[in-house]
Structure 1
Amino acid sequence: MGAAVAKQVERRKSVSSEKKALCDLNNSCGCGFPGCDYHPIDRKQWMAALNPEKLHVKQIVFPGTHDSATDRIGIPFITRPFAQCQSLSIYGQLVRGARVLDVRVQHDRRVCHGILLTYNVDEVISDLKRFLSETESEIVILEIRTEFGHDDPPEFEKYLVGQLGEYLIHQDDHVFDKTVAELLPKRVICVWKPRKAPPPQAGAPLWNSGHLKDNWIDTDLPSTKFESNLKHLAEQPPVSSRKYFYRVENTVTPQADNPVVCVRPVTGRIHGFARLFISQCFAKGCADRLQILSTDFIDEDFVNACAGLTQARIEGKA
């Protein structure tokens, strides 16, 4: 028992030390970067405001959400705090400015996070289509994967194409060099990542896992995650030459050996440092690699930061 208590004490010290490290870095270096003062007038249509005829896909810094469809997962006040990563619906996230969605499903098409379940993926598609019907020039990346430990939903690729066909931007490496206006009226890049079923093939309506990459590390230590994100981002080619999307997630996740296992207080250790991360990308010389930045519990300031850097790229300032 004494050894377990000592371990927990050390874990809490590590968390506190790493939070302080990020605070100190923020205080010493600041969080300024090209476009940091930009505030979209309407986050629901922030891409449209940047001029679709000038905005190239490779210039966009996409604000994304991690475990997007978990706003109503599990049982309120009982299991939900252990798996809820977003408080807004899919539609609410898109209206706030999110443009990358991370959705996990099991064999019966219900959305899940580990063993906890929520609504059918139909609700995700319905919210997305509602948003698309109310806007004209917003590009959305929808990643749907079979959750670890679960089986693929039967004929799911056919289902997605049937539901989103009119909006789908087909898998094509030339997309990265095109402007948003050149893609319209197609507006959804749907990445389907099955566990056992064959992946989408080149030229298909859906994109495969090779077109959306990341280097996830499972930790609740904020500075460890922050530095890992910078390291792996720096290893990627610049967005100007890359033919895949690369995601960095400004999140940390609860660990079983730590007494704090609810998502919100744990991810809060890094949540406020998204602007610091962008500024450090410039300091480390890897800002030209940044493309998708995702978060738990997305807020307006996070979207402003991504939209601001996107605007700076259009203007040749970043």
Structure 2
Amino acid sequence: MHFNISDIGKSVANLSKSVVDTATSATRNASDAVSHLVDGRKQLAEERNDLRSLLESSGDAFPGSDFRPSDRKMWMSELGPDRLRINQIVWPGTHDSATNGIGVPLVTRPFAECQTLSIYDQLAAGARALDVRVEQSRHVAHGIIKSYSVDVILDDLKKFLAETEAEVVLLEIRTEFGHEDPPEFENYLVDQLGDVLIPHDEAVFGKTIAEVLPGRVICVWKPRKSPAPAAGSKLWGAGYLRDNWIDSFQPKTKFDSNMKHLSEQPPVTERRYFYRVENTVTPNAENPVVKMVDDEIMPYARLFVSQAFAGGVANRLQVYSTDFIDGDFVDLCAGVTHARLEGQA
């Protein structure tokens, strides 16, 4: 076999260059990742300060901010079913509602759990808009993690409805991204909820709670591939609950985006769909724990509402959602609703 010394030299040189290029690329990528992390942390610190400064300079008072229902479980009834119209309600909502106890404790749960209360306990605490994600076997899903059967949710809902008389619930059920629709799910929902469903009818927005009774649930079904609910059916289609979700862990970025998109909506009295604002941010690689990330924006829920009033767009606010819902969040939504009812907002 004949070896060409020149060719061997070239091969060695090419190999050396390849090794150097690979090492250089890896170093550059690592440097870029560190730079991205540093920039992200710097921006987060700036956005924290921006929100604190805004709160200190403007406060978070608004019409109805002092209102506290005597019983959050029945706050709609307290306001008066004969007076309160569907389009006057600011619906306190929960994001990824059915994730209590999801995943493995201390392993996957901190990355997937957005609520610690059961559906029943959320409703009893005053929540009135639910965001439920399902997969093909009719189990709750958050990303690739599955949890309990949707039957648990519906049983909790029925229990709450049986214990109250005039509380209306906005129930959104959608197929989680990356999963298939549960077979025959529309028929299943109608069979399970039956007479408590408020059938699709755009006139509902202008009606009082008393006028939609005995209906108690507006159910929006959002399949990925299955046919959407037909007009006039017992379920409502995806277009009747809208939002402008953005993927950001930066609190002021999300705050400003929420305000911008809210301002682009018609007033609640003029539109025939529900519009949702989510007072949440998205976990990222640097901070994947839901609760820790949400702590950056959750304290500013009232500030957002006060800024909506200051900017003249509070008449667009309708569904307001959060992770880890608490009594103060319910009170602020009920407070704006009360102010509208009394002609103060």
User: Same fold by TM-score, threshold 0.5 exceeded?
Assistant: yes
Which of 91, 98, 101 aligns to 2:127? It is 98
What's the secondary structure of 1:297's corresponding residue? Answer: coil
Which of 311, 316, 321 aligns to 1:294? It is 321
What's the secondary structure of 1:71's corresponding residue? Answer: coil
Q: Using structure 2 for the length normalisation, give the TM-score.
A: 0.91
Q: Identify the residue that residue 308 of structure 1 maps to in structure 2.
A: 335
Which of 22, 34, 37 aligns to 1:5? It is 34
- Cα displacement (A) at 1:9: 1.6
Aligned alpha-carbon RMSD (Å): 0.7
Q: Using structure 1 for the length normalisation, give the TM-score.
A: 0.98
Asked if 1:48 corresponds to 2:77, the answer is yes
What's the secondary structure of 1:255's corresponding residue? Answer: coil
Q: Greater Rg, structure 1 or structure 2?
A: 2
- Cα displacement (A) at 1:7: 2.0
- Cα displacement (A) at 1:4: 2.1
What's the secondary structure of 2:156's corresponding residue? Answer: helix
What's the secondary structure of 1:281's corresponding residue? Answer: helix
Q: Identify the residue that residue 106 of structure 2 maps to in structure 1.
A: 77
What's the secondary structure of 1:102's corresponding residue? Answer: strand
Asked if 1:162 corresponds to 2:191, the answer is yes
User: Which amino acid in structure 2 is aligned with residue 119 of structure 1?
Assistant: Y
User: Which amino acid in structure 2 is aligned with residue 206 of structure 1?
Assistant: L
- Cα displacement (A) at 1:266: 0.3
Give 5+ residue unaligned stretches, structure 2: 1-29
Deviations for 1:76-129, whole angstroms, at most 9, x for unmatched residues?
Answer: 111000010001000010011000000000000010000011101000001000
Which of 133, 137, 140 aligns to 1:108? It is 137
Q: Identify the residue that residue 186 of structure 1 maps to in structure 2.
A: 215
Which of 28, 37, 40 aligns to 2:57? It is 28
- Cα displacement (A) at 1:19: 1.3
Q: Identify the residue that residue 268 of structure 1 maps to in structure 2.
A: 295
Asked if 1:224 corresponds to 2:253, the answer is yes
Q: Identify the residue that residue 236 of structure 2 maps to in structure 1.
A: 207
- Structure 2 Cα separation of the partners of residues 87 and 272 of structure 1: 18
Give 5+ residue unaligned stretches, structure 1: none
- Number of equivalences: 316
What's the secondary structure of 2:220's corresponding residue? Answer: strand
Give the % identical residues.
61
- Structure 1 Cα separation of the partners of residues 33 and 222 of structure 2: 39
Q: Identify the residue that residue 198 of structure 1 maps to in structure 2.
A: 227
The runs of at least 4 aligned residues of structure 1 exceeding 6 Å deviation read: none
What's the secondary structure of 1:272's corresponding residue? Answer: helix
Asked if 1:130 corresponds to 2:130, the answer is no
User: Which amino acid in structure 2 is aligned with residue 3 of structure 1?
Assistant: D
Q: Identify the residue that residue 18 of structure 2 maps to in structure 1.
A: none
- Structure 1 Cα separation of the partners of residues 191 and 33 of structure 2: 53
Deviations for 1:167-193, whole angstroms, at most 9, x for unmatched residues?
Answer: 000000000000001111110000000
- Cα displacement (A) at 1:2: 3.3
Deviations for 1:195-251, whole angstroms, at most 9, x for unmatched residues?
Answer: 000000110000000100000001100000000000000000100111000000000
- Cα displacement (A) at 1:72: 1.2
User: Which amino acid in structure 2 is aligned with residue 187 of structure 1?
Assistant: R
